[in-house]
Amino acid sequence: MASVGTILAQLFPPEPKWSVDSIPDLTGKVAIVTGGNVGLGKATCKQLLLKGCTVWLASRSKSKAEAAIAELKEETGKEPLFLALDLNDLQAVKESAENFKRRSTALHILICNAGVMVPPVEQVTAQGYDLQFGVNALGHFLFIQQLLPIMKSTSSPVSETRIVWVSSSVQYYFRGPPVNYDNITDTPSRKALGTQQLYCQSKFITVMLAYHLAKVLAEDQTSNVICIVLDPGNIKTDLQRHNSPSMLRSIMNWIILRPVSSGILSQLFAATDPEAAHLNGKYLRPWARLGEPHPKTKDEAEQRKIWDYCMVAIQTYK
């Protein structure tokens, strides 16, 4: 659990020092944004397009993606490309990455932005994992593993490629550490933990996986890929669609939720700013500032354990 000071700073961050005006020219760069059809993902695509980036908008829904692509084209004059990606199904994730690699020879920026929050607890992935773990953590883990070869070959000693993984401040509120692996598959204890804690668990695991990935990448002398993990802030999007409405929640949301234009700052900074090239293995808090996640996300033995668990899961799924 974070200190009161950390939690207050997260809830009421100081004014941003960084803005989208600082995004460099991205002509010639190729990016994938998962969950690019709506919310933070769509707004992130827009800024990348405005800077000349070739953007692949990854979405599980062709019709939602087409609507977003039409809107983005209208707003920017540039057209993102559609990449079908359903993070709920490991086979579909693998096919999505293969599809991308058939159609593009480079990948400079991968923004793992898609996410699901507090769906009904009964919902599990195609392979039977807790839905929030499956989409937010494991699906992205496989997508990253599949895309690492192209990101490595796109990088050079003087030009890194970047993986940006969107976590959340809810990782501070995960009651679990260490992770109880019974709560990842569909067991009575997973259901008893409840959908709010399962969301916290998925975002806690995201930080651990990103930290371990950063270490693996740093040790690889043959390529130049970095990984940054972040909390975008508390932002007014449709993410809370599964939360039942209540007066208290509406008041809280009115107090703490900020516009999407603020929520995209950390991921765009991490993905594009020259200074962020030095931030492999770092955690960003709102708005594009260095932060510290839950101290137990830094437990290297636990990072290794969840990494190995995910590796086995993506190598043995049916």
What residue type is 62 in one-letter code? K
Question: Considering beta carbons, is residue 64 or 296 the nearer one to ligand NAP?
Answer: 64
Q: Would you say 151 and 225 are in contact if contact means Cβ atoms under 8 Å apart?
A: yes
What residue type is 239 in one-letter code? L
Q: Would you say 174 and 295 are in contact if contact means Cβ atoms under 8 Å apart?
A: no
Smallest gap from residue 33 Cβ to ligand NAP (A): 9
Q: Which of the residues 167, 202, 262, 266 is marked catalytic? A: 167
Binding mask 155-184 for ligand NAP (x = CB under 6 A): -----------x-x----------------
Smallest gap from residue 301 Cβ to ligand NAP (A): 26
| Residue 266 touches ligand NAP, criterion: CB under 6 A | no
Smallest gap from residue 210 Cβ to ligand NAP (A): 13
Strands (E), the chain: 30-34, 54-59, 81-84, 109-112, 161-166, 225-230, 283-285, 289-291
What residue type is 312 in one-letter code? V
- Report how far apart, in Å, the C-alpha atoms of 186 and of each of 1, 125, 180, 198, 238 are: 26, 10, 12, 12, 26
| Residue 270 touches ligand NAP, criterion: CB under 6 A | no
* Catalytic status, residue 262: no
Smallest gap from residue 20 Cβ to ligand NAP (A): 16
Q: Which of the residues 199, 211, 283, 317 is marked catalytic? A: 199
Measured CA to CA, the distance from residue 229 to residue 166 in angstroms comes to 6
Structure tokens at 131: 């839905």
250-269 burial, b if ≥16 CB within 10 A, otherwise e?
Answer: eeeeeeeebebebbbbbbbb
Number of residues near ligand NAP (by CB under 6 A): 29
Q: Which of residues 31-60 bind ligand NAP (CB under 6 A)?
A: 35, 37-41, 59-60
Q: Of residues 238, 244, 254, 290, which one binds ligand NAP by CB under 6 A?
A: 238
Q: Of residues 30, 55, 85, 97, which one binds ligand NAP by CB under 6 A?
A: 85
Smallest gap from residue 231 Cβ to ligand NAP (A): 6
| Residue 239 touches ligand NAP, criterion: CB under 6 A | yes
Structure tokens at 285: 């808090």
Binding mask 106-145 for ligand NAP (x = CB under 6 A): -------xxxxx-----------------x----------
Binding mask 197-236 for ligand NAP (x = CB under 6 A): ----------------------------------xx-xx-
For the CA atoms of 203, 207, 210, 212, what is the dihedral angle to 10 degrees? Answer: -130
**CA-based radius of gyration for the chain:** 18
Smallest gap from residue 171 Cβ to ligand NAP (A): 10
Q: Would you say 22 and 271 are in contact if contact means Cβ atoms under 8 Å apart?
A: no
Question: Considering beta carbons, is residue 130 or 231 the nearer one to ligand NAP?
Answer: 231
Q: Would you say 285 and 291 are in contact if contact means Cβ atoms under 8 Å apart?
A: yes
Among candidates 233, 184, 219, which has minimal Cα distance to 205? 184
* Catalytic status, residue 203: yes
Residues forming contacts to ligand NAP in the complex (CB under 6 A) are: 35, 37-41, 59-61, 64, 85-88, 113-117, 135, 166, 168, 231-232, 234-235, 237-239
Task: Please give the positions annotated as active site.
Answer: 167, 199, 203
